[in-house]
Amino acid sequence: MDLLIPDKAHDESRQGEALVLEPNGKHNGRKLYIESYGCAMNFSDSEIVASILADKGFETTKDFNNADVVFINTCSIRENAEVRVRNRLKEFAGAKFKNPGMVVGVLGCMAERLKAKFLEEEKLVDVVVGPDAYRDLPNLIEQVDNGQRAVNVLLSREETYADINPVRLNSNGINAFVSIMRGCDNMCSFCVVPFTRGRERSRDAASVVAECTDLFNQGYREVTLLGQNVDSYKWTAPVAEGGEALAVGDEVKIVNFANLLEMVALVSPDLRVRFSTSHPKDITDEVLYTIAKYDNICNYIHLPVQSGNSRILDLMNRTYDREWYINRIDAIRRIIPECAISTDMITGFCTETDEEHKDSVTMMDYVKYDFAYMFKYSERPGTLAAKRYADDIPEDVKQARLAEIVAKQQEYSYYRMQARLGRVEKVLIEGFSKKSDKDYCGRSDQNAMVIFPVTEGYKPGQYANVLVERTTSATLIGRIV
Residues making contact with ligand 5AD (CB under 6 A): 1-2, 4, 77-78, 190-191, 304, 306, 344, 346, 375, 377-378, 380
Residue 453's Cα: distance from chain center in Å? 30
Q: Is 184 in the site for ligand SF4 (CB under 6 A)?
A: yes
Q: Is 194 in the site for ligand SF4 (CB under 6 A)?
A: yes
Selected from 2, 68, 132, 359, the binder of ligand SF4 by CB under 6 A is: 2
Least spacing, CB of residue 335 vs ligand SF4, in Å: 23
Q: Is 315 in the site for ligand SF4 (CB under 6 A)?
A: no
Q: Is 461 in the site for ligand SF4 (CB under 6 A)?
A: no
Q: Which does 124 bind (CB under 5 to 8 A by kind): ligand 5AD, ligand SF4, none?
A: none
Q: Which is nearer to ligand SF4, 317 or 475 (CB)?
A: 317
Q: Which does 377 bind (CB under 5 to 8 A by kind): ligand SF4, ligand 5AD, none?
A: ligand 5AD
The total of other beta-carbon atoms located within 10 Å of residue 452's CB is 25
The total of other beta-carbon atoms located within 10 Å of residue 286's CB is 15
Selected from 229, 276, 309, 360, the binder of ligand SF4 by CB under 6 A is: 229
Binding piece for ligand SF4, criterion CB under 6 A, among 11-19, 33-41, 188-196, 409-417: 188-196
Is position 298 annotated in a ligand binding site? no
Q: Is the dihedral of CA 78, 80, 83, 87 positive or negative?
A: negative
Helix, strand, coil in percent for the chain, rounding step 5: 35, 25, 45
Q: How far apart, in Å, are the Cα atoms of 65 and each of 19, 61, 96, 304, 442? A: 15, 9, 8, 40, 34
- 68 φ, ψ (degrees, to nearest 5): -95, -30
CA distance 97 to 79: 28
DSSP state letter for 204: P
Q: Which does 6 bind (CB under 5 to 8 A by kind): ligand 5AD, ligand SF4, none?
A: none
Least spacing, CB of residue 368 vs ligand SF4, in Å: 23
DSSP secondary structure string for all residues of 241-273: TT-PPPPTT--EEEEEHHHHHHHHHTT-TTSEE
Greatest Cα-to-Cα distance within the chain, rounded to the nearest angstrom: 65
DSSP secondary structure string for all residues of 99-157: -TT-EEEEEEHHHHHHTTHHHHH-TT--EEE-TT-GGGHHHHHHHHHTT--EEE----S
Least spacing, CB of residue 253 vs ligand 5AD, in Å: 32
CA distance 402 to 78: 15
Is position 350 annotated in a ligand binding site? no
Strands 439-443 and 424-432: antiparallel
Least spacing, CB of residue 453 vs ligand 5AD, in Å: 36
Q: Which is nearer to ligand SF4, 171 or 284 (CB)?
A: 284
Q: Which does 272 bind (CB under 5 to 8 A by kind): ligand 5AD, ligand SF4, none?
A: none
First to last CA, the chain: 39
Is position 339 annotated in a ligand binding site? no
Return the amino acid letter for 5.
I
CA distance 257 to 263: 10
Q: Is 45 in the site for ligand SF4 (CB under 6 A)?
A: no
Binding piece for ligand SF4, criterion CB under 6 A, among 139-147, 191-199, 236-244, 469-477: 191-199
Q: Which does 184 bind (CB under 5 to 8 A by kind): ligand 5AD, ligand SF4, none?
A: ligand SF4
HSE-up (13 A, CA, CB side) for residue 10: 14
Q: Which does 194 bind (CB under 5 to 8 A by kind): ligand 5AD, ligand SF4, none?
A: ligand SF4
Binding piece for ligand SF4, criterion CB under 6 A, among 29-37, 64-72, 185-193, 256-264: 185-193
Least spacing, CB of residue 3 vs ligand SF4, in Å: 9
Least spacing, CB of residue 345 vs ligand SF4, in Å: 12
Residue 211 near residue 161, CB atoms below 8 Å: no
Q: Which does 229 bind (CB under 5 to 8 A by kind): ligand 5AD, ligand SF4, none?
A: ligand SF4
Q: Which helix (H) or strand (E) holds 226?
A: strand 222-226
Q: Is 228 in the site for ligand SF4 (CB under 6 A)?
A: yes
Q: Is 44 in the site for ligand SF4 (CB under 6 A)?
A: no
Which residues make up the interface to ligand SF4 (CB under 6 A)?
1-2, 184, 186-188, 191, 193-194, 228-229, 279
